[in-house]
Structures are given as C-alpha cells and as structure tokens.
Amino acid sequence: MEYNLYINGASVPTATHMDIFNPATGELLGKCPVAGREELDAAVAAAAQAFKSWSKVSNEDRKAACHAIGKLLEDNAEELAKLLTQEQGKPLNGVGSRFELGGCQAWTHFTADLELPVEVIQDNEEGRVELHRKPIGVVGSITPWNWPLMIAIWHVIPALRTGNTVVIKPSPYTPLSTLRMIELISGILPKGVLNVISGRDDLGQMMSEHEDIHKIIFTGSCATGEKIMASAAPTLKRLTLELGGNDAGIVLPDVDAKAIAEGLFWGSFINGGQTCAALKRLYVHADVYDDVCAALTEFARNIPMGNGLDENMIMGPVQNEMQYNKVRDLVEDAVAGGARVLLGANPEEGTGYFYPLTILADVSDGTRIVDEEQFGPALPIIKYTDVNDAIARANASDNGLGGSIWSNDIEQAKALASRLECGSAWINKHGMIQPNVPFGGVKGSGIGVEFGVDGLKEYTTIQAVFT
C-alpha cells in the first residue's frame, strides 16, 4: 500500500517512496512517501496561513477540538494499534500498542483541560500588570521510532491547545502509523492546522533551518538534538529537546529482592528497553547483589517474546537493524570483557530483529554497555559497597534524564534521590511518567520540559500588559 502526505486538508502523493518493513517478519508493510523541500514548503505555508485564524479561535473551542481528537483516537484505537505493531514491532498486549493508544487518549484529554489564564503580576496604586500567553506560530515536530504515536500526541496536542499550527515529521523507521493517525485527526480540524510530511533524515534538517517554522520540538538522540540546535540557531527558533538518557538505578541493601524484581524488570525492559527513560544501568549493593540478580533473572525468564500480532506475546523485536546491531555489539563487548551472562546474550538466527532479553552481571563502569545508552533489551548490573560511590558513578554521565532509588526506607531513598543529577527521580519504580508532571532532562538530556502546565507554556510567548 502506498501512503500519502497530508497537507492543507488534502492527501498529497509524492513521486518517490521508500519501503517500510515489519521488524518481526521482514515483510513489506507499506510504501512511505518521501517529501522534499517543495512538500515541506507547502506544508509550512499551509500551517502559516491556518495560524492566522486558528490562533484566534476561542479557548473553549480549541479545548473542544482536542477532546474531539481524544474521542477519535478511542474510536480508531484498534486499527492504529495493529498498524503500529506491524511497523514498530511492539506487541498488541502488555506495555505495547494498545497501551500506547490508551496513553494517546489519556494525554490528549488531560492536556485539553489545561488552562493558561492571564496572570496578574501587580495590581496596586502604581498600576496593574498582566502576563498574557500567546501562541508562537508554526511548530515543527520531529518524532522518534520507539513510541511514535504517543510522542506525536505529546508534541501535537499542546501545540494545538495553545493556538499553534503544526507540521509533523515521523521517523523514517516508523512513519506509516503516524501518517494514518494525523490523517484521521486532520479531518476534524480546519485545513492547514495539522500537516504531516515524511521522508529521510535530511527532511528534519530542512525543518530546523526553515525560517517560517517558529519552534521545533524533537524527541530522539543527543547527537541529532545537537544538530537540530545548530541548524535552528540562525533563525533563533524556540526549542524543546527531549534527548537520550543513560538512567541509573541504585538498589540499597535493605530491599526484598523478590519484591522489587517486577518493578526493576519493567523499569528496564519496557518497550524492549527502547525508551529514553528506561533503566539502563543498575547498581546493586553487595549485600543483596546475588539475590537481586537471581530474582530479576527468574522474572525475566518467563516473559514471552515474538511477533506482536500474537495476542500471547509480551515482548517484540528490536525495531530496526541498526539498533539490533548496536545492542548485540555492546553485549558482545561486555562478555568479552568478563561480564557474566545471567540470561540471553545469544540471539538465534532467523527472521526478525529478535534480540533475547539479556541480563549481565559483574559489569563495571568503563564498559561500553554501562557508559553508552544501549536502548534495547539488555541490562548491566554493577555491584557496589558504598552508596556515596554509587551516587557518584550514577552521576558520572553526560546524560541526566531519570534515575531511581530502591529501598524500604523511603525517607533515606528520597534524600539520595535528591542527589541524583536528573530531571526525574523515582523511588521503588522507574520511568513512570504522568501527563500532569513536567518531564525533561538536565545536562545532555535536553532542553525544556513536556507535560502539564509547564510543558504547555513552552508553546507560548509572553506579553506583559501594563495599565
């Protein structure tokens, strides 16, 4: 099936397409349209024209439009979930495609109800000062391949809610589900308010350089985020960048290993580990090291992996060959350096990018799989004896997205969590995000935040009105 772009309320074919394959079967799923500068210019022009009227639509009408999008996502959830599974690889069940579509609906409805009222800064005999928030203009959204639909919603809905118009570009690895979702959503909005283009990586650079795009929101790798920041600089665009993480978890010696095994597993292996805020390296105190290794391995051993269209599967393949090879190389490097394999690490030959759930013990800092973000189903476990040393090692990273402390002593855990250099810190859990809580990183993990009122503000400019 050939897919089209969706620009200015119309389906737009392209002269060139690229093949999109199912990562579980290797079968051709569909043909993605490849847009160039001409199509980008058309989408931006449509969004700029639509902004003139959409920015003046009442607050209540924009709220209602966002709620209507949420209802549309509910009505079309199964179609989108099945397409997402075939394209991305994640299973329908578990923390998979149906879960992702549920998240899309929840974030949409919650964001629809957020408000940015006029703030009164001063009101006295010297005068009144009000702070008004105004939409920025055309927002360019560039999304990744790991949670393609939910992250698209994270970008698009707050932009629409605040009166902006949008041009969105999905990852070239997972464009089809986004093309379909945006086509559905665009049908209930005025033409030009929401446009979707797809293509290769150079299209993202064109967007970040485009003088008529006023803000870029990007979720993806640190390296790509740096390139976007550089190419956006000449036009002084607003930026929200949610970049990579190498999140550390620290397990204290007072835990019950069996009680925390399930939480550690899902913190590490949600979406097959292909999540920015997944737990990527686990520091465990020597007193409970063997118990934690055993309990986590036993839990992981019973998780079925296979084609996500099989209702019995809980894990799917790595999404693409490049990422599969990276995970394999990092694991092989660790094993060659003396890591002990507790589970996995020996992928079978066959169809699909299935890398087994892998747990490695006796790994140390300085090993690539500890120092680099693996972004896949492999977890290194590092033994420590001094919690201050563990905190220092957790912080010895250029990234700072998330981190976690695991302990029965909540107050001690909170005190230690406050010392982690990261945007989100969890106690006895990892990676749990909420639409009412700002989410973003420090250090190399990004600029700005998403979600909640703070995230909504990032789609606005401020104007102080003095009377």
- Read off the tokens for 227: 């390139």
Whether 242 is a known active-site residue: answer yes
Q: Are 406 and 250 in contact (CB under 8 A)?
A: yes
CB-CB neighbours of 202 under 10 Å? 10
Q: 97-106: long-range contacts (C-beta < 8 A, 24 or more apart)?
A: 97/308, 100/147, 100/149, 100/150, 101/73, 101/77, 101/149, 102/77, 103/150, 103/153, 104/73, 104/149, 104/150, 104/153, 105/70, 105/73, 105/74, 105/77, 106/435
Q: Are 417 and 409 in contact (CB under 8 A)?
A: no
Q: 326-329: long-range contacts (C-beta < 8 A, 24 or more apart)?
A: 326/374, 326/375, 326/376, 327/273, 327/355, 327/358, 327/374, 327/375, 327/376, 327/377, 327/378, 328/355
Q: Is 409 exposed, middle or buried (0-12, 13-18, 19+ CB in 10 A)?
A: middle
CB-CB neighbours of 401 under 10 Å? 28
Measured CA to CA, the distance from residue 216 to residue 203 in angstroms comes to 13
Which residue out of 276, 293, 421, 422 is catalytically annotated? 276
- Read off the tokens for 94: 């578990």
DSSP code at position 213: -
Which residue out of 242, 373, 421, 450 is catalytically annotated? 242
> For the packed helices 176-186 and 148-161, what is the interaxial angle rounded to 10 degrees?
30
Report in angstroms the alpha-carbon separations of 443 from 69, 175, 304: 35, 30, 36
Whether 421 is a known active-site residue: answer no
Measured CA to CA, the distance from residue 395 to residue 247 in angstroms comes to 9
Measured CA to CA, the distance from residue 331 to residue 45 in angstroms comes to 47
Active-site residues, by number, are 242, 276
